[in-house]
Structure 1
Amino acid sequence: MFKILLSELRHSSVLMKWRWTQWMFFNFMVSGTRSLVTVQQPAWLTAALGHDVIMPCKLNLSHNEKMQATPVLYWKYNSSVDVYPPSDQYEGRVNLVDDVNSTDKSILLKNVQWTDSGKYMCKLSIMTKTSFRKKGNETLLIVHDNMLFNLSGHNDSQLQCEVNVTRDPRIALSIVQDGCKFQNERDPVPTLPYAMLSETISLKSKGKYECQLHLNEDLIMKSIFHWNPLEPVVVYPEPWFLYVALLLVPTIILLCLATATLLARC
């Protein structure tokens, strides 16, 4: 009886190991299949206020993978709002860049507003040998206005740079000249839907000045200003003594000639 029980336990153990091996093999195959399908998005991109912007999303397939059906595309804003298919907020402002059967799943966002600032994620429901979902790594959309970089209206000896941009503590404005960086203070008006960044420096030497907008170490945009002031014009005083001398010389000569003539007649 004991031998029979021991034999059954061994058989059960072998069966469990076999099932575990099958399950591991299945997961390996599925994960291997999924690893052959990737969705790529840039970490961030910029858009000028009121302009259009393309939100890139690329579906990459290995040579061994074949789609059984057209992938279903979803775009999300801040993980909750539907961008594509568009919700009311994005109705009429979002179009696919390419055909639905293309691996390019980018969308065109029209008339960018300050409220469009945020993170966008591309998601795909894919059917190859199995059905699964893949998503990108999110793209941060940074909205900005025109960068103004010129002499200060109040003082021609000061250079000022201003820009309105998406509110983010990682974004900083600075002016660079000859390797020296002058960085701005944080936005003093936190109630606005965007940050008003400004930096002003005194002009000390001629050359090239750059106003740079950074997201951490990444350069978002820049503007260049060349300052080549004219050399000051030296104004000398009028040489009045020279003028008088020049006038007196011919007068003295005439007097001498007249005197000599009179003496000769005498």
Structure 2
Amino acid sequence: MRSVPLRMGPPSWSSSVCAQRSSNQCSTCLQRRKMLNIVLFKLHHGFFLTRWRWTFWMLILCMLSGSLSLVTVEQPPVLVVALRGDAILPCKLCLSPDEKLEGLSILYWHFSPHHSSKMELLISSGEVREDVIILDNDQNSSNKSILLKNVQWDNSGKYQCKLSVKTEANGSFRTAGNQTTLVIYDTMSFNLTGHNNSVLRCEVNVSSKVGFALSIVHNGGRLKTTKRVVTAQTHDMLSETISLQEKEKYKCQLHFGEALITETIFPINLPDTEMYPEPWLLYSAVLLVPIVVLLSLLIAMLMRR
């Protein structure tokens, strides 16, 4: 399973941090922040982040944000997960070396369904739910990730990690990460259909209108197919159809942007056409039958004389 990039600008930062510093410190802060914004912008637009790559980059971002003397919340732009599976939504609290928390941080996760722009509270510190689990209940921990159990189509949407914190330098304030878009795909179907099984069809259900693309590949190249999209209330069904011509393997691939999410291989085992020899003996026997009959009649007539 792979995650994919989301079109988004660099994360928002607390404007009060530089305001409380001297003009020289503020100038350095702004220069470093600009550099970090460029890094984040390139990162979000140029990489397809797997879960492990995102963990690595999250550590890099925390180190960079530390040079800005800020408190930041980092979360990935997009996660792609399988239907009915479990999904970890990463969120990490990053503190620069000269920042120190006072008291406990309070976690809030908000959720906006795919067809809505309104954010609603999903879970907060100390709350217990069966379908959403806070992975680390230690409020002093930097890990603020949650686990969604048995993901369904209704879980598609945007998730935002927010924290209420108090530091020695800035007092009490709330900070939030950039939203994570969760998109879902179902099990792929890739089978023969049509008259005499002459058509190969690939189908898969995915979250509605979020950038999924389906394709059929043969001998390393994408084939021209008959495409169809069926829109349901909670998801779309993508369909690709081709006519079988060659006896080799076909692949059906699901992409999100340029990232390959999953693929299925269909082994085509069409029967070989056997070349039988001409039945010359049978032809000869068929031709001999009237000849034998004629000879029998001729012999019978001659014997009567």
Q: How has the CA–CA distance of structure 1 residues 137 and 224 changed in structure 2, closer, same or farther, with 3 Å as cutoff?
A: farther
CA displacement, residues 166-222 of structure 1 (integer Å, 9 cap, x when unaligned)? 10152222212232244663523x343110111111222343322122222233322
Cα distance, 1:110–1:154 mapped onto 2, change above 3 Å = farther
1:81 aligns with 2:120: yes
Distance 2:242 2:186 in 1: 21
Q: Let me know the Cα RMSD of the aligned residues.
A: 3.3
**Could you tell me whether the CA contact under 8 Å between 2:91 and 2:143 is conserved in 1?**
yes
Summarize the Cα distance change of 1:183–1:68 in structure 2 as closer, same or farther, 3 Å threshold.
farther
Deviations 1:129-176 (A, max 9, x none): 223332222111112221111222654232211111110152222212
Gaps of 5+ in 1: 1-20, 245-266
State the one-letter code of the partner of 1:25: S
Contact 1:53 1:112 in 2 (8 A): yes
- Report the Cα distance in structure 2 between the residues aligned to 1:22 and 1:222, rounded to whole angstroms: 52
Distance 2:242 2:202 in 1: 9
Percent of pairs with identical residues: 44
Aligned to 2:132: 94
Equivalent pair of 2:183/2:210 in contact (CA under 8 Å): no
Aligned to 1:132: 173
> Among residues 205, 221, 235, which one is paired with 1:164 in the alignment?
205
How many equivalent residue pairs? Answer: 221
List runs of 5+ in structure 2 lacking aligned partners: 1-17, 34-65, 113-117, 286-305
Q: Which amino acid aligns with 2:198?
A: S
**Is the 8 Å Cα contact of residues 174 and 184 (structure 1) preserved in structure 2?**
no
Normalized against structure 1, the TM-score is what?
0.69
Match of residue 40, structure 1, among 74, 77, 82: 74
What residue is the counterpart of 2:9 in the other structure? none
Q: Which moved more, 1:111-120 or 1:213-222?
A: 213-222
Q: Note the C-alpha offset of 1:67.
A: 2.3
Structure 1 residues 240 and 219, CA, compared in 2 at 3 Å: closer, same or farther?
same
Corresponding position of 1:105: 144
Cα deviations across residues 22-76 of structure 1 (Å, max 9, x unaligned)? Answer: 8663893998877533322222222332332211112223334332223211111
Instruction: Report the equivalent of 1:193.
Output: 234
SS at match of 1:187: strand
Report Cα offsets for 1:48-105 as digits up to 9, x if no partner: 323322111122233343322232111111251211139xxx9531111123232111
1:122 alignment partner AA: C
**Residue correspondence of structure 1 range 59-78 to structure 2 within 5 A:** 59-78=93-112
Gap change, CA 1:117 and 1:22, over 3 Å in 2: closer
Q: Is the 8 A contact 1:172 1:184 kept in 2?
A: no
| Bigger shift: residues 70-79 or 216-225 | 216-225
> Which amino acid letter does the alignment assign opposite residue 56 of structure 1?
P
The 8 Å contact of residues 69 and 99 in structure 2, kept in 1 or not, is answered as no
